[in-house]
Amino acid sequence: MARRPWRTALGVTLAAALALSGCAASREQHGGGSGTPKTGGTVRFAMPPSATPNWIMPFSIPGYGGSYNGMIRSTMYVPLYSYDGSSGSVNLDDAASAANLPSYSPDGKTVTITLKPLTWSTGEPLTSRDVEFWLNLARAGKDNWGKYSKGLIPDSITGFHAVDDRTFTFTLDKAYNPDWFTANQLSLIVPMPHVWDRTSAAGPVGDHDRTPDGAKQVFDFLVSQGKQLGTYATNPLWKVVNGPFTLAGFTTSGEVTLRKNPKYTGPDPAKLDTVRFLTFTGSSAEYNVLRAGGVDYGYLPTSNLGQRSKLAEQGYRVEPWNGWSITYSPYNFNNPKLGKVFSQLYVRQAIQHAVDQDAITSVIWRGAARVGYGPVPQDNDTKYLSPEQKTNPYPFDLNKSKQLLADHGWKPGSDGVLLCADPAKCGEGIAEGTRLSLTMLTESGSDETDGTMQELRSELSRVGIEMKINAQPLNTVLANGTTCEPRDPACGWQLSYFGTQGSWYFSANPSGEELFATGAGTNFGGYTDPKADKLIAATNLASDNRAMLEYSAYLAEQLPVLWLPNPPYQVSAIDTALHGVTQDPMAGLLPQRWFWTR
């Protein structure tokens, strides 16, 4: 059904005024409904605090990897394989996938795939050529692709052969675990329309991608178009889609409007007419609009969990959205001032011992977050969780933190901040007089994140470590906290935090090739460890969980990042008349399955 436009959803001033006035009559009522599905209508979905969508191209480049970008993009460009964890276990979502199940040869080195009869909005069918186009661009642009990990896709695909218009084969460099390869590698492939095969806006469509130089020119052209947010709604490139929705509006402030794709030919059509994604500077601003009724699917800050009964009276149901995820703060091992300090395991151990995860989860997050001690999720399927990670190798212990640093040559300066007094003990590359003063680049807009950072700063100060806080919008944190070299001007960041909704959401298998393998696209801190690389490689090949358990134990102990409590994606408030909503732990959204009963 059609909904009254909430024209002040982004003008938070009026919404705040309504909330402060306490005038119940001014609130839009939710709930009700007959229980019978209705055709069409609009849903207003609240984006996370300070999060603004900023990427549409199926290849996400470093700094543009927000989960909300993927949520929106997947409604327009159907991935080869999609997975869903809302049932309690992670399984293939066939209806949301562009291909039928893959078939692996007996030796595991050839994969045969047949595409479903999907159609681009131009009327052209989805073909094997569109997959070849994606693969050629992946090879040409891999060093600027956030999902790339050396040796894996596209490197692992040594041959492509189109059997016919809808069937093709990949030849692999070795035999991988088929379940892992399908879930964690083939799921990265998003077929792209061959009509994008051009090197400029006015240039002709051709087979440019079939030469390395041509493919690089096409990749660079598409990236340049992807950076022009103000043209998203009008650029003819982004009008060509094969998913259940098409892009109807995209503002530079991040508000996105999706409209049902009338030319979609797959098995998962949209039931709604329109979905609007609303942006907010902070969680309090969103909550004011939620209480005024201007959001159909929003969230509660944990400080407002006591208001659940009021929201229920207003017609919302409140449900936590837990994630197949981990939360952490990367160390910048290449930072010219503190990179050598962070490279010392004892320093990372001292900092980890200063994290009071129990207090953060119970007090700041009011029980909504879960402790996290290592590289695999701890609060869902635990088959990958090692005993070492589960039992916390570095419990909160400030005396242990102090002792570790004192034993390695650190002494308090005149201001109480620790100085390296004995370089021979401090470690290689650490000069005498180096101060343990660091800056945390953290996302703004969340009371819980603000509280977590204040708690961490307080505990570290008791150890003698100074932590300054630099709060910025989430997109700024993601753009500025990326992999760098010490000589780069952009390498000034020291630690970063982007975990208000969880830092990283996994594919079906929580292996670490994208996060902690040397040179991986989202290994933001530049962590490198030969043993970790071997364990990660073993998880990609093994047919059982032993390699994952070893990986979990080793990374929990080696601390490639600062492990922090893992919050839910959000505590959702959903109109009780809105059905078809499944809160996928993998941060999938699938709004094509939503429908009104009112």
Residue 327 has pLDDT above 50, yes or no: yes
- CB-based contact 394:351 (threshold 8 Å): no
As a whole number of angstroms, the distance between CA 586 and CA 501 comes to: 12
| Peptide bond between residue 154 and the one before it cis (omega within 30 degrees of 0) | yes
Q: How far apart are the first and last CA of the chain?
A: 7
Q: How many CB atoms lie within 10 A of CB 458?
A: 12
Q: Looking at the domain assignment, is residue 5 inside a domain?
A: no
Q: What's the pLDDT score for residue 1? A: 35
Average pLDDT, integer, range 262-279: 97
473 and 547 both lie in a single domain = yes
As a whole number of angstroms, the distance between CA 508 and CA 380 comes to: 12
Helix, strand, coil proportions of the chain in percent (round to 5)? 35, 20, 50
Q: What's the pLDDT score for residue 26? A: 63
97 and 32 both lie in a single domain = no
Domain end among 192, 226, 260:
226
Supply the CATH number for residue 311's domain. 3.40.190.10
Beta bridge partners of 318: 573
As a whole number of angstroms, the distance between CA 129 and CA 391 comes to: 50
What dihedral do alpha carbons 480, 484, 486, 488 form, nearest 10°?
-70
496 and 510 both lie in a single domain = yes
As a whole number of angstroms, the distance between CA 70 and CA 148 comes to: 16
At residue 29 the predicted structure's pLDDT band, cuts being 50, 70 and 90, is confident
As a whole number of angstroms, the distance between CA 333 and CA 337 comes to: 10
397 and 546 both lie in a single domain = yes
51 alpha-carbon distance from chain centroid: 12
Residue 115 has pLDDT above 90, yes or no: yes
As a whole number of angstroms, the distance between CA 322 and CA 570 comes to: 7
329 and 317 both lie in a single domain = no
Phi then psi for residue 291, to 5 deg, are -65, -30
Q: Looking at the domain assignment, is residue 67 inside a domain?
A: no
Pairing of the two strands 418-420 and 410-412? antiparallel
Average pLDDT, integer, range 424-428: 97
Q: Looking at the domain assignment, is residue 63 inside a domain?
A: no
As a whole number of angstroms, the distance between CA 557 and CA 529 comes to: 13
381 and 515 both lie in a single domain = yes
At residue 13 the predicted structure's pLDDT band, cuts being 50, 70 and 90, is very low
Which DSSP symbol is given to 187?
G
50 and 81 both lie in a single domain = no
Q: Looking at the domain assignment, is residue 64 inside a domain?
A: no
Coil vs helix vs strand at 341 = helix
Question: In 164-293, which residue ranges form alpha helices assigned H by DSSP?
Answer: 178-180, 212-226, 283-292
Average pLDDT, integer, range 40-65: 93
Q: What's the pLDDT score for residue 539? A: 93
pLDDT single digits (tens) 213-261: 999 999 999 999 999 999 999 999 999 999 999 999 999 888 999 999 9
As a whole number of angstroms, the distance between CA 580 and CA 591 comes to: 8
- CB-based contact 448:502 (threshold 8 Å): no
At residue 88 the predicted structure's pLDDT band, cuts being 50, 70 and 90, is confident
Q: How many CB atoms lie within 10 A of CB 225?
A: 18
As a whole number of angstroms, the distance between CA 279 and CA 45 comes to: 9
- CB-based contact 138:154 (threshold 8 Å): yes
Q: Which two tokens stand for residue 167?
A: 């069937």
Q: What's the pLDDT score for residue 382? A: 84
pLDDT single digits (tens) 543-596: 888 999 999 999 999 999 999 999 999 999 999 999 999 999 999 999 999 999
Q: Looking at the domain assignment, is residue 17 inside a domain?
A: yes
CA-nearest of 306, 302, 319 to 360 is 302
Q: Looking at the domain assignment, is residue 513 inside a domain?
A: yes
- The H or E element containing residue 555 is helix 546-558
Angle at 86 between CA 81 and CA 87, to 5 degrees: 100
- CB-based contact 553:387 (threshold 8 Å): yes
Domain end among 191, 226, 261:
226
Supply the CATH number for residue 168's domain. 3.90.76.10
Which DSSP symbol is given to 328?
E
Phi then psi for residue 339, to 5 deg, are -55, -45
105 and 221 both lie in a single domain = yes
Average pLDDT, integer, range 332-349: 98
Residue 60 has pLDDT above 80, yes or no: yes
Q: What's the pLDDT score for residue 211? A: 98
Residue 14 has pLDDT above 90, yes or no: no
pLDDT single digits (tens) 289-309: 999 999 999 999 988 999 999
Q: Which two tokens stand for residue 411?
A: 């002494």
Q: What's the pLDDT score for residue 80? A: 98
Residue 23 has pLDDT above 60, yes or no: no
174 and 27 both lie in a single domain = no
Coil vs helix vs strand at 109 = coil
What dihedral do alpha carbons 181, 187, 188, 193 form, nearest 10°?
130
Q: What's the pLDDT score for residue 218? A: 98
Average pLDDT, integer, range 48-69: 90
Domain end among 197, 226, 255:
226
At residue 67 the predicted structure's pLDDT band, cuts being 50, 70 and 90, is confident
Q: Which two tokens stand for residue 26?
A: 């001014």
- CB-based contact 301:448 (threshold 8 Å): yes
Domain that holds residue 100: 77-226
344 and 313 both lie in a single domain = no
At residue 6 the predicted structure's pLDDT band, cuts being 50, 70 and 90, is very low
CA-nearest of 366, 507, 367, 374 to 67 is 507
Of 382 and 561, the one with more pLDDT:
561
pLDDT single digits (tens) 128-160: 999 999 999 999 999 999 999 999 999 999 999
Average pLDDT, integer, range 92-119: 97
Angle at 359 between CA 358 and CA 362, to 5 degrees: 80
Looking at this protein, which amino acid is placed at residue 55?
A: W
Q: How many CB atoms lie within 10 A of CB 399?
A: 9
Q: What is the number of structural domains in the chain?
A: 3
200 and 266 both lie in a single domain = no
555 alpha-carbon distance from chain centroid: 20
pLDDT single digits (tens) 170-213: 999 999 999 999 999 999 999 999 999 999 999 999 999 999 99
406 and 273 both lie in a single domain = no
Looking at this protein, which amino acid is placed at residue 487?
A: R
Question: In 35-159, which residue ranges form alpha helices assigned H by DSSP?
Answer: 67-73, 128-141
As a whole number of angstroms, the distance between CA 583 and CA 569 comes to: 9
Residue 402 has pLDDT above 50, yes or no: yes
As a whole number of angstroms, the distance between CA 174 and CA 125 comes to: 32
Q: Looking at the domain assignment, is residue 517 inside a domain?
A: yes
Average pLDDT, the chain: 93
- CB-based contact 368:321 (threshold 8 Å): no
Q: Looking at the domain assignment, is residue 38 inside a domain?
A: yes
